[in-house]
Structure 1
Amino acid sequence: MLEVYPEALAQLNSDAFNHVLTTVDFGLHQQDVDIIMICMRALKALAFHITTKRQKLATWTYSTDIVSTAADALFPLILCEPNLYQGLGNELVEKQGNSNFRTRLANALQVMTTSNQLSSSLDRLNYQRFRKNLNNFLIEKFVGF
């Protein structure tokens, strides 16, 4: 099942998922070499599937047109609700399990709204600066992290 349908395992509820993994673990502790080999192939398939999914996430691509449009909408929203932006950013940072990642994400969010001589004026130059900052944030978030 794991060799043919590894994505199905990811869709199982937690009880069913734990049952499958417990079964594989049980098989790995048996004396029969064939059973151990089957369990190892199942783990290989699962690990391959997870690695492939992570690589696809790391190579996520996006349209610069979409980023520009999103930046043009996001920039005035951040300016009119800075406390809300800060709160949402803090919530996102706190949800991260890795402390190194938390620090990097917090810094990236801060840099997005302060770097490149960005000011609180909604003029053409600041929109351009914020587009660049958002694009840099996305590159850092999905490539550098």
Structure 2
Amino acid sequence: MRRIFYSELMKVLRATISLLRDVTRGDPDSILSTIEYLENNIKESFESSRMDIKVALGKHHREERASIFLKSIFTSLLGVVRAYTNGTVDEEFLDIYIDIVVDTLIVIQKGLEEGKEAIEIHYPHDRVRILTERGVKHIK
């Protein structure tokens, strides 16, 4: 049962990573609907995963369940893609944000493949600074 779960989970993560890498070349409406689907279903998909994630953002650390963390990632991503489609943020901002999300998903994927119960994610300060300066906190 567990092997099937992780196999399906890996497919979802790989598909998501692939989608995000192509997001600026794709159709914004299909991207939005895909991310909405992922956002709505990700918590359920990860419920049986007991993985905890420790997030390091500068000096701030927080720990939470993988399912909650991933749902928040997709919720934020949805906001950023919507902001891009309505012209609130530019393509550079979107690219930086997507790079961070893809890097995060890859770290989570590797952690799951290795059977880890907890992982740490450290975000690069330069990218976070750019996003903060451009108001990512206000995009929801």
Relative to total residues, which structure has the larger helix share, 1 or 2?
Answer: 1
Q: Which structure carries more relative contact order (alpha carbon 8 Å, separation 6+)?
A: 2
TM-score band by shorter chain is 0.3 to 0.5
Question: Which TM-score applies when normalising by structure 1?
Answer: 0.35
